[in-house]
């Protein structure tokens, strides 16, 4: 859909109504979670539900209802999964509404804040620094408008936009202001794809989920041949009693399916989302919870993270005899030059009202890349000059006397700006030429009261904190030092860092977030179709240049690892520093709130944005702290560790069961004996040693940092433990069978007792370190099994009855011996694998 440019007053109400009637609205749904239908479908129609459901139907045709209990448990599990995910969906949807950006749209000469879905074709959308562009359009107004299109094209330098230039959804404003007319809305706009990927409740790029899927795929391959072997062997031993053979086959297959593992993984993630939601923390991508558990380095932007957004003018210190009143009038006039002032300029506006007789003739908004803003001002006497306000160490040459005062003030944690005057026009190639310093503007920053304790938390957890700021290094170091950050006494000016070519480091960084991965290909096509010119391909760098660049990148990584505080960092340098840390194997979280943080947020393993930050930062971040509380971050990290650490624990339980089930099936086939258990016995064992305990363990506190190698670690314990458990149960079963006087029920009961004790021992190992509630959990499971074995109706229902003392005592002895072997295996694994430091004994 294409429209003509409207008047600069925007569309009238009648024109809007016409477009709505024609369907020319931006009706793309922005979803923070899956739909209810998707949640139900993905929980019901699973591979293992199909397997278990089929076995349930089969067992209901050949056996009593006791042998079909596993089917009802699957129904309950599926219901729990659906309920928990629906709770997570409700939480995410509510938070998404709170955090939704509302573009300012001009209609009938009035500026309105509307949701994205209310924008229509031909609307005039106003732009300011930090705004995200959510629909395609053409520039209708531009005052120093600079737009960053790096999320679409990969080009780091902002693009200066003029009247008529195209703007694409997915880009964002880094400087200046303006307005654009929407030319594509709804499904035709590129925002249709961007919004979908920026906030989808997804499980992509999850090592945990990939590892579980690998294990489940292997188990699926085992099921069919094992089932065929069991049917044939049970037909042989039961003398062609088909119903009995089917019951025994089902009893052997059902324990092989770790049906609760997928459920508890989903439930743990969902509950994590709900818990974080209660802390006003919006999880825009589900893998962020997993990523949080792996974070070992947090990069912090000072402004808006360690300090609050607002500032106060401490004083204005004239330089070189410049009159104070003239400097104050110039500051007041500069405050009127920017319709969207940043925190520093807002403090100046609050302190100095607009002076009478001063007029702004031309303005340049603040840019994080150049570190200054300015305006051509005509004073009350009619004299015209260019006034600049920015970083003293950027505007002044090295060695200038004013820098001594600026550094002294900055070392006290104050923000210092230089006000300077020059006859050079603002649109000249170098507006700072002929600069005459007029005054130092000293601003006091408001440090967040919770920042010091948050930094101490990260130190206790062995998570390195790096403060990366565009401010003066001494000022940043002073603020960080006042909060007790280790290494703050040695801040580094980022202008002294090596500057490798960005393309060379791209390969070292992990895959970008879902928003980037999806947008790049389509946006490149869109951009090439929209713009009038295309750039020539860059020549391939030669080997020497590549080696030199790699050396520079290594130097950068060394410097970033060695220091904790960095000042005068450009947006591109923030991105390079994140990539440098990642190249050294660090898992990096980046926090920020301004447009200068967007590139680093996008490339970090985990991007965390403040709710009060710019639209662009909230769009690329995986996690948004809607209440702007820095103290929420430790809770977010702790939640990630709890989820991932506990899923690994319960995965051990489920896979031990799978391994011993496979072992018992193979032993039964080889020895040509009846399978030791009926489905009802498997149900009791699974519920008391795995299902119920795993549910509680999955929700327990856990502060261990997640490590790579999930599948290897789980299998290293599950395989030997499962073999030990299967061997113990089958040995007790075969010895009981040798005592022909006891009967088949007693033989099965002995094997069930043995397997329960070994499985309970596994549970006790997995639950370590112990807490009171964990000990109670193990004891209650033991009491539950005792009731099954001694209560008459339970004995009859589950067909369990011990006879005599020899077989039961033999089974207990075998189980104890197996427990000793389990302890040896556990200690060997702990000794052979590097262990994470335990930060808490809460369990």
* 285 neighbors 200 (Cβ within 8 angstroms): yes
What is the C-alpha to C-alpha distance for residues 581 and 139, in angstroms, rounded to an integer? Answer: 39
Active-site positions read 301
Q: How far apart are CA 282 and CA 25, in angstroms?
A: 27
Tokens at 543, concatenated: 């080997």
User: pLDDT (tens digit, 9 = 90+) per residue, 310-355?
Assistant: 788 989 999 988 899 999 999 999 988 887 787 888 899 999 998 9
Residue 246 has pLDDT above 70, yes or no: yes
DSSP string, 427-486: TSS-TTTT-EEEEEEEEEEEE-TTHHHHHHHHHHTT-EEEEE-SS-HHHHHHHHHHTT-T
Pairwise CA distance, residues 386 & 395, whole Å:
13
Give percent of the chain above pLDDT 70.
Answer: 86
**Which of 422, 355, 412, 360 is CA-nearest to residue 390?**
422
What whole-number distance in Å separates Cα of residue 79 and Cα of residue 317?
A: 68
Higher pLDDT, 703 or 141: 141
**Tokens standing for 489?**
């006494």
Across 187-191, 495-499, 568-572, least confident range: 187-191
> pLDDT at residue 841 above 80?
no
Higher pLDDT, 707 or 172: 172
Q: Is the pLDDT of residue 192 over 60?
A: no
170 alpha carbon, distance to own chain's centre: 20
Question: What are the two backbone dihedrals, phi and then psi, of residue 610, each rounded to the nearest 5 degrees?
Answer: -80, 145
480 burial (CB, 10 Å; 0-12 / 13-18 / 19+) is buried
**Average pLDDT taken over every residue of the chain:** 81
What value does the mean pLDDT take over residues 698-723?
Answer: 83
pLDDT surpassing 60 at residue 686? yes
Measuring CA to CA, which residue among 261, 259, 257 is closest to residue 223?
A: 257
Q: List pLDDT tens digits, range 437-456.
A: 999 999 988 888 888 898 99
Q: For residues 310 and 346, is the Cβ–Cβ distance under 8 A? A: yes
| Euclidean distance between CA atoms 76 and 84, whole angstroms | 12
β-sheet bridge partners, residue 591:
300, 608
Average pLDDT over residues 119-139: 88
Model confidence at 413: pLDDT above 60: yes
What is the residue whose two structure tokens read 């925190």?
Answer: 343
- The confidence band for 521, taking pLDDT boundaries of 50, 70 and 90, is very low
- Within 10 A of 25 (CB to CB), how many other CB atoms are there? 18
679 or 197, higher pLDDT:
679
- For residue 66, the surrounding DSSP H or E stretch is none
How far, in Å, CA of 748 to CA of 800, rounded? 7
> Can you tell me the distance from the alpha carbon of 780 to that of 772, in angstroms, rounded to the nearest whole number?
12
Instruction: Say yes or no to pLDDT of 75 above 90.
Output: no
Task: Please write the tens of the pLDDT for every residue from 309-318.
Answer: 678 898 999 9
The 384-390 sheet, strands edge to edge: 307-318, 436-447, 415-422, 384-390, 372-378, 359-367
Neighbours of 539 (CB within 10 A): 6
pLDDT at 688: 93
pLDDT at 755: 96
d(CA 284, CA 204): 12
Sign, CA dihedral 260-263-269-274, equals negative
- Mean pLDDT, residues 387-401 taken together: 90
């Amino acid at each position: 859909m294409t429209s003509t440019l409207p008047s600069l007053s925007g569309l009238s109400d009648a024109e809007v109504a016409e477009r709505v009637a024609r369907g020319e609205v931006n009706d793309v749904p922005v979803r923070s979670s899956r739909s209810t239908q998707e949640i139900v479908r993905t929980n019901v129609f699973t591979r293992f539900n199909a397997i278990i459901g089929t076995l349930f139907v089969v067992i209901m045709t050949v056996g009593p209802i006791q042998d079909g209990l596993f089917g009802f448990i699957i129904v309950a599990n599926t219901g729990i999964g659906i309920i928990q995910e629906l709770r997570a969906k409700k939480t995410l949807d509510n938070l998404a509404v709170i955090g939704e950006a509302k573009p300012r749209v001009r209609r009938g000469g009035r500026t309105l804040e509307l949701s994205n879905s209310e924008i229509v074709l031909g609307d005039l959308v106003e732009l300011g620094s930090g705004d995200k562009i959510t629909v395609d359009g053409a520039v209708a107004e531009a005052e120093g408008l600079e737009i960053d299109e790096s999320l679409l094209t990969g080009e780091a330098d902002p693009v200066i936009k003029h009247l008529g230039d195209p703007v694409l959804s997915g880009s964002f404003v880094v400087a200046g202001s303006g307005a654009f007319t929407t030319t594509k809305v709804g499904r035709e706009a590129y925002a249709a794809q961007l919004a979908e990927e920026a906030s989808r409740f997804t499980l992509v790029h999850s090592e945990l989920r990939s590892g579980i899927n690998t294990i489940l795929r292997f188990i699926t391959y085992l099921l069919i041949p094992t089932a065929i072997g069991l049917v044939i062997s049970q037909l042989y031993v039961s003398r062609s009693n088909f119903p009995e053979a089917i019951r025994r086959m089902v009893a052997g297959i059902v324990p092989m399916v770790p049906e609760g593992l997928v459920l508890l993984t989903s439930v743990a993630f969902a509950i994590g989302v709900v818990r974080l939601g209660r802390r006003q923390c919006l999880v825009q991508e589900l893998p962020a919870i997993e990523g949080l558990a792996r974070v070992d380095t947090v990069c912090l932007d000072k402004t808006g993270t360690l300090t609050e957004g607002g500032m106060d003018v401490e004083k204005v210190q004239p330089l070189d005899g410049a009159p104070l009143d003239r400097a104050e009038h110039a500051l007041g006039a500069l405050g009127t030059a920017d319709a969207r002032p940043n925190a520093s300029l807002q403090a100046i506006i609050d302190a100095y009202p607009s002076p009478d007789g001063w007029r702004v003739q031309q303005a340049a908004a603040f840019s994080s890349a150049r570190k200054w803003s300015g305006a051509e001002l005509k004073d009350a006497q009619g004299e015209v000059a260019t006034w600049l306000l920015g970083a003293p160490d950027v505007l002044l040459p090295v060695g200038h006397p004013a820098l001594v005062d600026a550094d002294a003030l900055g070392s006290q944690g104050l923000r210092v700006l230089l006000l300077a005057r020059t006859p050079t026009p603002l649109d000249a190639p170098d507006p700072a030429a002929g600069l005459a310093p007029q005054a130092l503007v000293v601003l006091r920053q408001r440090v967040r009261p919770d920042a010091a304790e948050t930094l101490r938390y990260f130190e206790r957890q062995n998570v390195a904190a790096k403060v990366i700021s565009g401010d003066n290094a001494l000022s940043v170091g002073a603020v960080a030092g006042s909060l007790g950050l280790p290494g703050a006494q040695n801040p580094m000016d980022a202008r002294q860092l090596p500057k490798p070519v960005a393309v060379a480091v791209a390969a070292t960084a992990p895959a970008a977030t879902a928003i980037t991965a999806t947008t790049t290909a389509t946006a490149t096509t869109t951009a090439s179709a929209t713009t009038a010119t295309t750039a020539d391909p860059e020549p391939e760098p030669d080997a020497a240049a590549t080696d030199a660049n790699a050396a520079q990148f290594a130097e950068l990584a060394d410097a970033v690892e060695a220091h904790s505080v960095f000042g005068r960092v450009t947006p591109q340098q923030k991105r390079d520093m994140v990539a440098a840390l990642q190249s050294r194997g660090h898992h990096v979280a980046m926090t920020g709130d301004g447009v200068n943080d967007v590139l680093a947020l996008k490339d970090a393993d985990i991007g965390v944005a403040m709710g009060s930050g710019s639209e662009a930062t909230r769009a690329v971040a995986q996690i948004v702290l809607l209440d702007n509380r820095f103290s929420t971050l430790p809770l977010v990290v702790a939640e990630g560790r709890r989820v991932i650490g506990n899923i690994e624990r319960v995965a051990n339980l489920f896979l031990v069961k799978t391994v011993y089930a496979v072992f018992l099936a193979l032993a039964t086939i080889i020895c040509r004996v009846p399978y030791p258990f009926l489905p009802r016995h498997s149900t009791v064992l699974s519920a008391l040693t795995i299902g119920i305990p795993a549910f509680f363990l999955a929700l327990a506190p856990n502060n261990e940092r997640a490590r790579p190698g999930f599948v290897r670690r789980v299998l290293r314990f599950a395989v030997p433990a499962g073999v030990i458990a299967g061997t113990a149960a089958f040995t007790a079963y075969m010895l009981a069978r040798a005592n022909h006087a006891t009967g088949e029920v007693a033989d099965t009961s002995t094997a069930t007792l043995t397997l329960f004790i070994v499985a309970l021992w596994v549970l006790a190992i997995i639950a370590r370190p112990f807490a009171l509630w964990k000990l109670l959990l193990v004891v209650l499971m033991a009491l539950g099994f005792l009731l099954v074995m001694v209560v008459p109706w339970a004995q009859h229902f589950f067909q369990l009855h011990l006879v005599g003392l020899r077989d039961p005592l033999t089974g207990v002895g075998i189980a104890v011996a197996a427990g000793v072997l389990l302890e040896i295996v556990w200690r060997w694994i702990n000794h052979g694998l590097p262990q994470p430091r335990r930060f808490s004994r809460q369990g």
